Amino acid sequence: MYNIELKNEVHKMFVELSKKANEIAENCSTEDMAINEISNIVSSKVSAESGGYIVDMYANFVAKIKEDDYFKDPKKLNDFYRLNLREKLNEKYNFDIKLSDVYKEGIKFKDINKLYVAACSAAGTLAIGGILNFAISDTIGIPISIIIAGAVIVGISSYLICSKKNKQNFYQAINKYLKDMENEILNWLVKIEGYLNSQVRTIYKS
């Protein structure tokens, strides 16, 4: 299991997002405005933090590798570094383009939606977790910030559209969406850990 501290970081982020989203819902004059603001804050925060989770996971993984007696042999440790796992993760999950830069460059909602649909078509799923998991085995080539933005826009709208007329149901739908997304991010991190372990097993077999 990945570092428990990382799991707690993910949970803390979604608790904070839930609090902020409920504040937005309380203060916005219309539910449509609330949906837009919640979509922006959730997509920006999750996109920004996801890259950090990958960095933290890799750092923790390297630390465990160095503690393994098998890799006390410098040759074996060099074999590990030659796997270039950090670079491979960078290729699979493009974190270079920040969501703010996407908007600065003039990529509008319809363009984000087109790229998100392209990612969905490649992965065969609309769920953000499914797309991120798919990218482990097959590079999608679409910046992670755009995938997350598209998933949040579609996801929040579908969760909240039927609850717009009832304030309490609206809050419950927000919290349910964020809890489901938290679970998808955690499942994704488990997949990342499994990918790293599978790559290292190739060294044991050599």
Q: Under a CB-based contact definition with an 8 Å cutoff, are residues 45 and 38 in contact? A: no
Tens of pLDDT, residues 175-201: 888 888 888 888 888 888 888 999 999
196 exposed, middle or buried (CB, 10 Å; 0-12, 13-18, 19+)? buried
Helix (H) or strand (E) holding 114: helix 109-123
Tens of pLDDT, residues 49-66: 888 888 888 999 999 999
| One-letter amino acid for residue 43 of the chain | S
pTM metric for this prediction: 0.75
